[in-house]
Amino acid sequence: MSKTNQNTNCAASSPRHSPKRPFVLGIETSCDETAAAIVSADRQILSHALISQIDEHIEFGGVVPEIAARSHITYLPWLVQKALDEASMDVGDLDAIAATTGPGLVGGLMVGMLTAKAMAQASDKPFIAVNHLEGHALTARLIDDTAFPFLLLLVSGGHCQLLEVSGVGLYNRLGTTIDDAVGEAFDKTAKLLGLDYPGGPAVEKAAALGNPRRFKLPRPLTSKAGCNFSFSGLKTAVRRIAEDCANKRGALYREDVADICAAFQVAVGDCLIDRTTHAIMQFRENHDEPLPALVVAGGVAANQYLRGRLSTLAREQNFKFVTPPVPLCTDNAAMIAWAGLERFAIDPKLNDKDIACRPRWPLDSHAKGLSGSGKKGAKA
């Protein structure tokens, strides 16, 4: 188990010793990160305690839901107390308690939600159900006070979407992936090439040593109108190139892996730039903003190469570029606390005590899923 305790004030805009109410405790357990954080109304992260489960899952090459849920049960009570202690608070000092209620792995979601509900009921505080994707979406307002409306590129292991964000709860999806999410493509590529888990950082590290021009990879959908993504064909092309190299040379050598990763990363960047450029054009048609923001959020936003290319695009298109610091790109509880605080500020009487977990929970409830839905609801 990799244990990391974060007390991150990178978002603070006022002195650490004078936070302003309300104070919200956020809990995040949607996948393989267990986290608790307290955030104040003036954008201070008063505490942030997090435990990563990478060591628990690395031998399986991916997240095992049952193992993740058991780890959440083990460590969440300790992390909540750690967050309270670091903020020099007790539960009575809080104004509300928020938890990720979807989308995500249902076992993990249940652990965080039930813990938060129990704390809220015992302390007579409101419980706020937070959409994990909304946590990512609103992080820009925690770190930068980004004004609505803004254009959001949400890129993570489970999601790849472009959305117009007009307010809290007001999302218009312009495009999404028709198959794999970009983070999923990174993870699968890493696994194909025998790299460590998690795949995103491993591919980025290998790509830094490679020649991106050695291999030619496709750029799916870049010749098409619209803002949808596709990464399944890119992943398949990586597998074919890797197999071809191994067959010709008797093995897949380190320089082969580095060159494939470099080519893959550039291809992903080309796809993101093309689709985001289309979204920028649509955003301009719908909003007359002199300097709107392009917000890039989610775990893949931690990739420095992709950050650089998207930052350049924003500058060329006269958009302000906003992306969280790396610790707030990946799953964290500060974003959940902040999203809960934003909702609480709109409705101080809000209490989601009767809401159940939602393994699927689209941000834009009006958008039609491209890959169907089932008993769990529409896919995100």
Domain parsing of the chain, residue ranges = 2-138+331-378, 148-327
**Is residue 271 a contact partner of residue 228, using CB atoms and an 8 Å limit?**
no
pLDDT at residue 377 in the model = 52
Supply 248's token pair.
């010709």
Residues of the chain with pLDDT under 70: 1-17, 368-380
Query: How far, rounded to the nearest angstrom, does the alpha carbon of residue 361 sit from its chain's CA centroid?
Result: 14
Burial class (CB in 10 A: 0-12, 13-18, 19+), 190: buried
Give one DSSP letter per residue of 215-263, joined into a string.
Answer: S----TTTTSSSS-B--HHHHHHHHHHHHHHHHHHSS--HHHHHHHHHH
Q: Which CATH number fits domain 2-138+331-378: 3.30.420.40, 3.40.50.1980, 2.60.40.10, 3.10.20.30?
A: 3.30.420.40
- The reported pLDDT for the residue numbered 55 is 74
- Give CA–CA dist 220/164, Å, rounded: 23
Report pLDDT for 103.
Answer: 95
100, 36 contact by CB (below 8 A):
no
The superfamily (CATH) of domain 148-327 is ATPase, nucleotide binding domain (3.30.420.40)
List C-alpha distances in Å: 215 to 210, 232, 242, 355: 11, 17, 10, 50
Decide: helix, strand or coil at residue 162.
strand
Rounded CA-CA distance 162/184 in Å is 17
pTM: 0.91
Express each pLDDT in 353-362 by its tens digit: 999 999 999 9
Integer angstrom CA distances of residue 40 from 25, 95, 122, 141, 303: 9, 10, 22, 13, 28
Compute the distance between CA of residue 253 and CA of residue 257 in angstroms, rounded to an integer: 6
- Predicted pLDDT at 17: 60
- pLDDT of 12: 40
Ordered alpha helix ranges (H), 63-198: 65-86, 106-123, 132-144, 182-192
pLDDT at 379: 53
Question: What are the strands of the beta sheet with 127-131, ordered from one edge?
Answer: 2-6, 45-52, 33-40, 23-28, 96-102, 127-131
Q: Is 155 left (phi over 0), alpha (psi -120 to 50) or beta?
A: beta
pLDDT at 328: 96
Q: List Cβ<8 Å contacts ≥24 apart for 246-255.
A: 252/193, 252/194, 255/210
Mapping DSSP to helix (H, G, I), strand (E, B) and coil, where does residue 261 land? helix
C-alpha triplet 113, 119, 123: angle, nearest 5°:
145
Structure-block tokens of residue 200: 């995103």
- Cα separation, 304 vs 200, whole angstroms: 11
As beta bridge partners, residue 176 has 161
pLDDT of 248 reads 92
pLDDT, position 217: 97
